Structures are given as structure tokens and as C-alpha cells.
Amino acid sequence: MNTPLIKGLLEYSDKKNVRFHMPGHKGRTIYDLAKLIPDIDVTEVEGTDNLHNPKGVINESQKRASNIYGTRKTFYSVNGTTAGIYAAITSSVKPGEEILIQRNCHKSIYNALVIGRIKGNFIYPKYDSKNNILTIIDPNEINDILSENKNIKAVVITYPSYLGICSDIKTIADVVHKHDKILIVDEAHGSHLEFSNKLPISAESAGADIIVQSTHKTLPSYTQSSMVHVNSDRVDNDRLFKMMSMFQSTSPSYILMSSLDMAMDYMINEGKNRLEKVLNYIDEFTYKVDNLEGISLFVGDTKYIFDKTKIVINATELGLRGSDLENILRKEYNIELEMSDLFYALAMVSVMNTKKDLDKLYLALKDISNTHCKKKLKIKEDIKFLQPTKYIEIYEAFNENSKFENLDDAIGEIASDYIIPYPPGVPVVAPGEILSKDIINHIKKFIDADIEILGLNNNKVSIIDK
């Protein structure tokens, strides 16, 4: 049998790694759903309903999810949160209209501007220079922008961030609604928040208008299964449904929809109590790691709240970058994390992780603390935000011919792709923006600091070929 993909997946499975990465089921099954897959992998026949015209069991399942989250309406997305983001934005903002988005948002949000031919305005997150991490969006800055630009139709906020940082979403919702605008929240990493009062408030409870969730990231549903929640009468449900249908397959997966159905049933029966136990395990883990030499956890700040299911580990005091720590945990301890950057390694915990999982991670970190040299890693970094001049809109730049150019020769040219240093993960330049001398010099500083930069090709930048 020549099946290289299956072979690779089974080889990973055979390693029996402790999974601190997506999806939220962590390789563990609920209700033996896996055994049902051949039986439930069907199409639109009598009794199975139709996602694009739900009147039966799919409609009933979506209503149940809506009731669980306390929203007015819920749509299932089998094309992931990406499809939900596309639908939410293009149903709220028409071609040629304006939107305000978080500069460090997911790429799908930028892509929605291309698809919908929407004019983008940006708001930047705060940067914590002490901890080398992006933090919150200031509601006052949103208020100032909306006061100055009456043409903005909607605001898109990421909540919580990839690393678990939560802006004051309730105040942001109040500010956006004061200006009679629509608040869209990318809650890809927050589908679990509604199930515990020990976690930050959910965007649904905070009053956002449209919430898009990657259920599969933090709850036990299958990859690519997501939900879109409607939470106010500001939303045109008919147009949103039309866009959801447009961005989803006409052959939607009943396996994915069933996994959403099952995840909801699990959470309101067994999962909610299990989540409380997992949160206690995390507290115990955090307390123990606090006593390890050379290893620290980022646990938020008094200025904002933090989702503790995101374990953000720093080992630079041991001379280890985040990527070094991730590799050591994988190769020497069979622990697979979600991601890493220059400073941090991220372990994502879900309701399906166990005390044994967290104990194994703690013992690994303890061993690393005892065995690695205590030589602080000195990382040269110069994190600041330049605000480039927009020459043309993102969607216009996307459709232009492009070429790669040396950095020094690209001064004054127009970028045709994103340039994103990580960290901090915010585009220095977006398509359609001018590559000034200051921006080119800023990019060089990231290169000199050995910071990974997405969008460069052998230190060449993509520009519009005039």
C-alpha cells in the first residue's frame, strides 16, 4: 500500500507524544465517534438534512449550539474559521466600504479584504517590552479612530490572542456599539471560555455581534469544524447565511458537523466539570514551575486578563530560545507543543488533557532546568511599530504583477506581500504599502537579530512590478 500521508500520520501517532497542540481532542475520542465514521460519512439524503438549507437535524443541532452559547443564531462551518471570517466580514462590509482590523490579526482577515474589495484601517496592539510579547487593544484608541472616521462599518478584534491575552472585550463592544458599528470577534482560540467562570468572559457574553470560533482548536471536535454565532439584531442574518453558503463546500462533511454536535453534548454533560479539573491541574503546574530555576511562565499582567489554558514558557535564562525548548521537548521527552518563537514556547491545554500530561511536562521542564547551562540568552531586539503609508488598497496590490527585489533596491517601492517578523507577529508592511527607507532599515534590524521574517525570500522582498 503506497500511502505516504497515512504512513506519516501513523508514524506520528505511534510516537505516543503528549499533545499540547491543536486539535482540542488531543488524539482522544469521546463517545467512540471514530468508530462511527464509516456509517455517518454520508451526503444530503432523506433524514440527513442540508447545511445549505437546514430544516431538520442540522438545524436542530445548530439551534442547540446556539442555546448553549446563549446566542441568537449559530451556523456550522466545515471550511474552518477561515470561511466564517470571510462570511462575517463580507456580510457586514460591502465592496469599497471601510473596516477597522487589528494589525496582528489572522491572515484570513486580511484575505477577506481582498475577496470583498474592502478598504482596511489598522489598530495596533500594545507591546510589553519587558516580556517581549504583544498584549491588548486599547478601547480608547478604537473610540478615537471611530470618532475620526465615520466611514468605518465594522471592527474586527482577535480575542483571545494566540498566546491567551485578552483585551477588554466588553468595553470594546460598548465603544463599537456607541458608534453604531458591528463588532466581529475572531474567537478562534476561545470556544472553551463560555464553559467556566474561572476563564475570561466569552465574546458572546460580552456582547459582540458576530463571533467566529475554531471549535476544533480548544474543544473535542475535528480539525476544520467551526461555528459562527450571531449575537445581535445589527447583523443581517440572511446576508450572513448567503455568504456562509458561498464560502463552504457544497459537499459539507457530516463527520465534521457530527463532531461539533458531539462536542457540544460532551461539554454540557461531562466536559464542563472536566474543564474545572483541568484548570486546577494548570494551577498546580504553574505553582511548581514557578520554583524551577531558569524557566518562567508568562501568566498575564494586572492590566489585562489571561487565558490560563495557554501555557507560555520562557527558558531564555537557560540559554534556550523558544524554538530550542520546543525541539528538546519533542526529541527528548515526546512532548509536542503548539508553536514557538524567539522567546516563548506555547503549550495549549484543552479539556481533553490530563493531570498525567501536565505532570510529564513539568518533569521534563524540571529536568531541562537541572541539566542545561545557566547562561542567559541575549537576544538583540528592537520592537517598535512603524506605520507605513498606504499607496493602494490591499486588494488592489494583490492583483498586481510582482517581483522580488533586494532590500536596498526596494526603497520607495510598493509591497505586494506581507512582511511579518515573528515575534512580535505584526506585519511591518502589508500589500499596497510603501517600503520607506526607515521600514527597510527596520527589517534589517530584525534580520540582524536573527528573528524569523515571513514574506522574505533569501532576504529579498516582493514588490509590485510596475
Inter-residue contact 208 to 299 (CB < 8 Å):
no
- How far apart CA 287 and CA 279 sit, in angstroms, is 13
- How far apart CA 197 and CA 204 sit, in angstroms, is 14
Inter-residue contact 170 to 36 (CB < 8 Å):
no
Helix (H, G, I), strand (E, B) or coil at 412: coil
Q: According to DSSP H, which parts of 93-138 are helical?
A: 107-116
Classify each residue of 314-326 as buried b or exposed e, where b means 16 or more C-beta atoms within 10 Å of its C-beta.
Answer: bbbbbebbbbbbb
Amino acid identity for residue 299 in this structure: V
DSSP 184-252: EEE-TT-TTGGG-TTSPPPHHHHT-SEEEE-HHHHSSS-TT-EEEEE-STTS-HHHHHHHHHHTS-SS-
Inter-residue contact 344 to 316 (CB < 8 Å):
no
CATH of domain 394-464: 3.90.105.10
The CA-to-CA distance between both ends of the chain, in Å, stands at 50
304: exposed, middle or buried (C-beta count within 10 Å: 0-12, 13-18, 19+)?
middle
Grid cell digits, residue 197:
467562570
Residue 222 burial (CB count, 10 A): 23
Contacts of 215 (CB under 8 A, 6+ apart): 24, 191, 221, 225, 226, 227, 260, 263
Closest by alpha carbon to 82, among 193, 197, 214? 214
Inter-residue contact 187 to 162 (CB < 8 Å):
no
- pLDDT, position 442: 85
Please count the residues of the chain: 466
Amino acid identity for residue 335 in this structure: I
Inter-residue contact 157 to 102 (CB < 8 Å):
yes
**Domain locations along the chain:** 33-266, 271-371, 394-464
- How far apart CA 346 and CA 189 sit, in angstroms, is 13
Half-sphere exposure of 68 (CA within 13 A, CB side): 26
Strands 452-454 and 420-422: antiparallel
One CATH from 3.30.70.20, 3.40.640.10, 3.20.20.70, 1.20.120.140 for 33-266: 3.40.640.10
Residue 460 burial (CB count, 10 A): 14
Inter-residue contact 455 to 421 (CB < 8 Å):
no
Residue by residue, pLDDT tens for the chain (466 residues) are 799 999 999 999 999 999 999 999 999 988 887 788 999 999 999 999 999 999 999 999 999 999 999 999 999 999 999 999 999 999 999 999 999 999 989 989 999 999 999 999 999 999 888 888 889 999 999 999 999 999 999 999 999 999 999 999 999 999 999 999 999 999 999 999 999 999 999 999 999 999 999 999 999 999 999 999 999 999 999 999 999 999 999 999 999 999 999 999 999 999 999 999 999 999 999 999 999 999 999 998 877 899 999 999 999 999 998 989 999 999 999 999 999 888 899 999 999 999 999 999 999 999 999 998 766 666 655 455 678 999 999 999 999 999 999 999 999 999 999 998 875 667 889 999 999 999 999 888 878 767 788 899 999 999 999 7
- How far apart CA 362 and CA 367 sit, in angstroms, is 9
Inter-residue contact 190 to 203 (CB < 8 Å):
yes
CATH of domain 271-371: 3.90.1150.150
Domains 33-266 and 394-464 fall in the same CATH topology: no
| Residue 405 parent element (H or E) | strand 402-406
Q: What is the DSSP letter of 27?
A: T
Cα angle value 182/183/186 (rounded, 5°): 140
